[in-house]
Chains A and B, each alone.
Chain A
């Protein structure tokens, strides 16, 4: 049963990601990206990271992608405008990077593919308490640094929005 759900979610995730890069219509591409995020959230649930799955949907699928959609819809990109100015080396770079990634994947799969996770998970693995605890003890500095970065971004957004109103 778990295997079946995993295969379903994995296929959906890969298929949606493929649709994202092959779709000509940007709004459809964003919708497929959302579906890919949801499929990946299912994979997180299967890895007993329920909290991360919930955040994945709330933050990525729920909040960030709505803004993506808004911007794309308001800019109203037409098909001929979309992807007009391509960098000449874009295709070669893409192929090279994809080949590198595939190479790495094959190596990892050959090395660890047959090995099943032997370590049993601790009792409260992936729970909100354990993640909160580790964020505020072991990773306190990165956590605070991130919050300062986000604060700066919010202030920057407010300043930019205000300036436009004054003109």
Chain B
């Protein structure tokens, strides 16, 4: 076992997760600020300059709230459901390359936690595991709102996963590799970005990704007027906090993977690679919030028929056309 290698990797892991979790915390601030601007309000202003300390205050509040477990819940499943949502949400980031390789002490390190050969498949696998937390929370809560919210959102996630997979197939066809580091390397120049070579795939991917993360305008599981708060209705305190953090972590991961697959990853002029990567991911987050602030929520049947009857055929035809041109 090579100790310097181990230590460098350990530092990478800690740094990436620290950035990811801080990013989650400040996503809540950004979201409240931006949505407030869209609605001509100020948003949080009191905690720190422009409310910058608001996430800290929120976290302390969540930690010290009473943890209520309703009667007749399936305690074991109820307890592990928040963990099952939090862990997959943070795991996918491990294969995303966030910079060029660097040389330290005579060895080169890729700026990615794990340079996996089947990186994309890993991401898809982790995403498909994420569904269970919602089903578990919905089932174990012993509440009709939770159950209906859980069923809805898992049906939604399964449906949109297929379109997302097909959009990713296009990227695999174009790059000829399942390795995310290779895919980034192949999009070196600005015109080589896959978003320009195949914009349809990107649009399909991003719509599916928004649905996958249960965000507005596809946030049916949390349709307040119908389902109170969906699958996490019965959760309180830090268990609720975990679902909350997982949602933002998922958004950041989706932004990071979209950047990697379609926007050339860390490539960019003048600025260092990591800065470019962060800028691109941040742009996706702003887009997410912007969509939430401006678009109305879809109806459930519209959502399902849109996924199966519009997005899926487009994705399939896109794969066929791309395969034809690649061959």
Contact = CB atoms under 8 A, between A and B. Distances in A.
B129 A128 contact: no
B326 interface: no
A17 interface: no
A127 interface: yes
A54 B178 CA distance: 12
A57 B126 CA distance: 8
Contacts of B76: 28
A18 B132 CA distance: 21
B151 A70 contact: yes
Nearest to A56: B125
A66 B151 CA distance: 11
Contacts of B129: 38, 57, 61-62
A62 B212 CA distance: 14
B249 interface: no
A27 B77 contact: yes
B151 A57 contact: no
B154 A70 contact: yes
A69 B140 CA distance: 13
Nearest to B121: A54
A61 B128 contact: yes
B245 to A, nearest CB: 22
B77 A58 contact: no
Closest 10 CB pairs of A and B: A62-B128, A54-B121, A57-B125, A58-B125, A54-B118, A50-B118, A54-B125, A69-B135, A58-B124, A58-B128
12 contacts: A31-B77, A31-B132, A31-B136, A38-B129, A50-B116, A50-B117, A54-B122, A61-B129, A62-B124, A62-B128, A66-B132, A66-B154
Interface of A: 1, 25, 27-28, 31, 34, 38, 50-51, 54-55, 57-58, 61-63, 66, 69-70, 73-74, 127-128
Interface of B: 1, 74, 76-77, 116-118, 121-122, 124-125, 127-129, 131-132, 135-136, 139, 147, 151, 154-155, 158, 161, 178
